[in-house]
Amino acid sequence: MDFDAFDRRSFLGVAGGALICTIAGQKYQLNSEKDVRRASAALPVPPKVKAGRDNPTVTKAAVAGNRKEYWIQAEEVTWNYVPTKKDQMMNTKLKVGKTAAASYAYRQYSADFAQPLGPATIPGPLIDATVGDTVVVHFRNACSLPVTMHPHGIFYSAEMDGAYKGYYTDPGGFVQRGRTFTYVWECPEGTQGTWLYHDHGPMDPLPLFRGLYGPMIIRDPDEPLPDREYFLGFATASPAYLPTLKTSLFTINGRAYTGNTPSMTANVGDDVAMHVYGIDNDFHTFHVHGHRWKENGVVIDNKTFGPGDSFRVRFIEDNPGRWLYHCHVFSHLHQGMSGWYNVS
């Protein structure tokens, strides 16, 4: 079929799960997986990508400081966003239709992609580094469309951006199916914090909204590790990007509704850290019942954050019980963005 062209630089969901999406500066209406694949195949390959293809293996001599090395592959998966079909918060069975959809996910492997270290997951694996480290990510694309890895917070050169830039795209911003690219990112003083990474390739935002994102942390070597640590990605699973879904699901770590989303636990006296990030088009809030924390001396119990924002909540646990944590945008809360926090 021929793609319908639209004016430049916007995207939105339309009826029936169809998607109007900007791809490499052009707009297409994508009604099916076949349309997605055909649009991907029609993408012009940037000159640097044609010339470079896979980049050479980064040697140990090319990396300064301590080396933190990862092998990560992007894969096509069928992901169930509500596996139990229940909401424990409301103690109800859900009538939301089909909740599994064709998605994309990052998967971590052992050295040289010898074997997977677990399943492909939404979000992807944690990238964990400390100030002074150099992070080396060997990335391989097993998806049918070009995808990448783009980091927040960490330091990198233009060639290691992992972003599509049209004619000027470097090989790391357009990793084709079956190709590999090695990203090198540095952790100088000032980069410590809670961050994230995600696809930023030519099909953006489709792969991202189908699951290609994950958490990253750069630790302060002078700060003690917490007793309990959780990483929570807030994202929307929309029928505009996942056509088999019948309604939008507001997810935490790729799952919607209490009992499906992560259930956190702690004991009184624990040093607890919760790392939170947003990776969709919406603004959310983070609220933990019965708890509060301080940021720059200000007491907070409900924090607002937007797309691409990330932050850490840290406190000494002092309040036992079964608690809820959730987004306080009520439409998001009641479409799945909540979970349990159980304190013994």
- Domains of the chain by residue range: 1-42, 60-343
Q: Of all residues in the chain, what percent carry a pLDDT higher than 90?
A: 82
Lowest mean pLDDT across 62-66, 113-117, 222-226, 261-265:
62-66
In the CATH hierarchy, which fold is given to the domain comprising 60-343? Immunoglobulin-like (2.60.40)
Lowest mean pLDDT across 52-61, 91-100, 326-335:
52-61
- pLDDT per position as a tens digit, 75-92: 999 999 999 999 999 999
Mean pLDDT for 244-265 is 97
How far apart (Å, rounded) are the C-alpha atoms in residues 112 and 292?
A: 44
How far apart (Å, rounded) are the C-alpha atoms in residues 140 and 149?
A: 10
Q: What is residue 220's three-state secondary structure?
A: coil
For every residue of 293-332, which 3-state class applies, written as one string?
Answer: EEECCEEECEEEECCCCEEEEEEECCCCEEEEEECCCHHH
pLDDT at residue 189 greater than cutoff 70: yes
Mean pLDDT for 10-39 is 60
Q: How many CB atoms lie within 10 A of CB 18?
A: 17
Q: What is residue 60's three-state secondary structure?
A: helix
Which residue, among 172, 160, 184, has the nearest Cα to 48 in the 3D structure?
Answer: 172
33 pLDDT tier (thresholds 50, 70, 90) = confident
